């Protein structure tokens, strides 16, 4: 019986002793062993009452078992909801409540804090640690190593990924089996992945890039991954002789270039380097080519759409562009005011349509209707133009968003916390250039007249409420915020004023 995502990513490898994961301790996990582990976890899910369509939320460290939980969700038809390990309890509470998760899997140290959240919802809580410890695998060890795959079809939900919004409230993007599978197959073809590939995998697996791009491509093609817990330059350099390809955010590339052990000789056998999630500076592209002889292949995607465009595998990889629409994906540029389709060369909204585009936001029909047109085009919130040769250039954003080291940060979410602090009249949070993270967060505060303000206390409150990567790297007191005639804060003026604050000229 069919379950397209499970069958074509996982099931096709059943019983094969071929390598799937190479781990930093020198051990490896074959496809067959991995699938047996996944089947055992699938039995645990079923025993916990998880049924097809139920959400399984996971805030767990990257590990082979964490990946096997994704496979188990696919096999049981559950909807996998991976969460950034940096999220605080406050942030997690919203995701768990909003998604109505049936099962939550967290690290052992988070268990106590989450019990109070999960218990009133009638959900189950299991634990999984970085090295496979915890209650999930303890139960799995007692289970059968095969599981009868649950029927699903391409339109059924496979995953929820939360993406923040300009209002500060996160939205659950609903991704179907068909969204994930079509994109994985398209990318295998576009980037010519085969079972000979060994991907250096240092991305987190709670986002599209590390899970649905990197991992799904390797599963679909039958290749293997050097599965690293996180990005660490030393570990990357040690493992590179064994890899054929790598995917990363721009920070990976700038950090590698800063290390003199990263040479052309080290990667002369490489087939492909891919960058995405944030703009790759043309300068980084050029430095990388000068150092290694490889031209990084830059592509463009979103949580809601998976991958939309890519520079060509064969042909000119043009620095500062994100290439051409992938096969089956339509890209158009529309006027921000009139919404009319614009001719090549003009700047407007980037809209995309295709089998990769999500089904909508969970329980948010108005937001879905505002961003996903009836004709199937999704309004990305990115601004761009298509040049005379058909390459897409992203020139800015029509959404108030900061991308720091590949993580999206919505200023509104931070401003809502800052505005509540004693003595704060109002705040503005902006992204400013940062050599390592590309952009970083700056908080500007206006004091209530006659009040004192305790910046340390405010920083501490922010730390408890929001994940570390969202914390302003600096809080500054200012007299007032510049506003336009409509009363809207002119963040472009602030970004310009503070552009050198972390990268002095």
User: Could you tell me if 64 and 37 are in contact, meaning their C-beta atoms sit under 8 angstroms apart?
Assistant: yes
What part of residues 202-241 is at the interface with ligand MCA (CB under 6 A)?
A: 203-204, 207-210, 230-231
Of 322, 429, 444, 458, the residue at the interface with ligand AMP (CB under 6 A) is 322
Q: What are 312's two structure tokens?
A: 């060509």
Q: What is the residue-wise DSSP string for 487-502?
A: S-B-HHHHHHHTTTSS
Q: Could you say whether residue 277 binds ligand AMP (CB under 6 A)? A: yes
Q: Could you say whether residue 251 binds ligand AMP (CB under 6 A)? A: no
Q: Could you say whether residue 502 binds ligand MCA (CB under 6 A)? A: no
Q: Which stretch binds ligand AMP (CB under 6 A): 2-10, 53-61, 230-238, 293-301?
A: 293-301
Return the number of the residue (114 or 190) whose C-beta is nearest ligand AMP: 190
Pick one of ligand MCA, ligand AMP, none as the site partner of residue 261 (Cβ within 5 to 8 A by kind). none
396 vs 399: CA distance, rounded Å: 9
Of 286, 294, 359, 397, the residue at the interface with ligand AMP (CB under 6 A) is 397
123 vs 175: CA distance, rounded Å: 22
Q: Could you say whether residue 134 binds ligand MCA (CB under 6 A)? A: no
What is the Cβ-side half-sphere exposure of residue 437, based on CA atoms within 13 angstroms?
19
Q: Is 134 left (phi over 0), alpha (psi -120 to 50) or beta?
A: left
Q: Could you say whether residue 408 binds ligand AMP (CB under 6 A)? A: yes
Smallest distance from ligand AMP to CB 422, Å: 33
Q: Could you say whether residue 352 binds ligand AMP (CB under 6 A)? A: no
327 vs 309: CA distance, rounded Å: 9
125 vs 117: CA distance, rounded Å: 10
Q: Could you say whether residue 251 binds ligand MCA (CB under 6 A)? A: yes
Smallest distance from ligand MCA to CB 52, Å: 26
Return the number of the residue (229 or 482) whose C-beta is nearest ligand MCA: 229
Q: What residues contact residue 427 under an 8 Å CB cut-off, 6+ apart? A: 414, 415, 418, 419, 443, 444, 445, 446
478: β partners: 446
Helices (H), 110-232: 111-118, 135-140, 177-191, 208, 216-221
Return the number of the residue (160 or 300) whose C-beta is nearest ligand AMP: 300
Name the residues that contact ligand MCA, by CB under 6 A: 203-204, 207-210, 230-231, 249, 251, 276-277, 301-303, 404-407, 437, 468-469
Name the residues that contact ligand AMP, by CB under 6 A: 163, 208, 276-279, 298, 300-303, 322, 380, 382, 394, 397, 403, 408
């Amino acid at each position: 019986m069919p379950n397209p995502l499970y069958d074509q990513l996982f099931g096709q490898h059943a019983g094969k002793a071929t390598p799937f994961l190479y781990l930093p301790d020198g051990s490896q996990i074959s496809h067959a062993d991995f699938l047996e582990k996944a089947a055992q976890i699938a039995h645990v899910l079923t025993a916990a009452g998880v049924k097809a369509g139920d959400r399984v939320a996971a805030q767990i460290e990257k590990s082979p078992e964490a990946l096997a939980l994704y496979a188990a969700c696919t096999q049981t038809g559950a909807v996998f909801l991976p969460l950034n390990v940096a999220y605080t309890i406050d942030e997690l509470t919203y995701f768990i409540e909003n998604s109505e998760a049936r099962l939550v899997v967290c690290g052992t140290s988070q268990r106590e804090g989450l019990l109070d959240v999960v218990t009133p919802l009638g959900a189950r809580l299991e634990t999984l640690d970085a090295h496979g410890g915890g209650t999930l695998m303890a139960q799995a060890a007692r289970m059968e190593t095969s599981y009868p795959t649950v029927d699903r079809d391409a339109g059924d939900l496979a995953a929820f990924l939360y993406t923040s919004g300009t209002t500060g409230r996160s939205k659950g993007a609903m991704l179907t089996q068909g969204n994930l599978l079509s994109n994985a197959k398209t990318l295998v073809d576009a980037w010519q992945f085969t079972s000979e590939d060994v991907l250096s995998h240092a991305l987190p697996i709670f986002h599209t890039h590390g899970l649905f791009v990197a991992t799904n491509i390797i599963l679909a093609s039958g290749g293997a991954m050097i599965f690293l817990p996180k990005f660490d330059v030393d570990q990357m350099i040690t493992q590179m002789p064994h890899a054929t390809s790598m995917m990363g955010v721009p920070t990976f590339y700038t950090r590698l270039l800063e290390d003199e052990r990263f040479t052309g000789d080290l990667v002369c056998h490489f087939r492909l380097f891919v960058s995405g999630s944030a703009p790759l500076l043309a300068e980084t592209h050029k430095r990388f080519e000068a150092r290694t002889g490889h031209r990084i292949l830059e592509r463009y995607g979103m949580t809601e759409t998976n991958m939309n465009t890519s520079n060509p595998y064969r042909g000119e990889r043009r620095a500062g562009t994100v290439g051409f629409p992938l096969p089956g994906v339509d890209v158009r540029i529309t006027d921000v005011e009139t919404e009319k389709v614009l001719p090549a060369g003009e700047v407007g909204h980037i809209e995309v349509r295709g089998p990769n585009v999500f089904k909508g936001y969970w329980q948010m029909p108005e937001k879905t209707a505002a961003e996903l047109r009836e004709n199937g085009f999704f309004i990305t919130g990115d601004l761009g133009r298509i040049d005379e040769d058909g390459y897409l250039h992203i020139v800015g954003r029509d959404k108030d968003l900061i991308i720091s080291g590949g993580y999206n940060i919505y200023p509104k979410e931070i401003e809502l916390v800052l505005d509540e602090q004693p003595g704060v009249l109002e705040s503005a949070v902006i992204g400013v250039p940062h050599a390592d993270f590309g952009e970083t967060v700056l908080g500007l505060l206006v004091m209530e007249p006659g009040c004192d303000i305790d910046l340390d206390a405010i920083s501490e409150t922010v730390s408890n409420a929001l994940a570390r990567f969202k914390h302003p790297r600096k809080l500054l007191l200012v007299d007032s915020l510049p506003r336009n005639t409509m009363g809207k804060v002119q963040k472009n003026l602030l970004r310009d004023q503070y552009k050198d604050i972390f990268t002095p000229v």
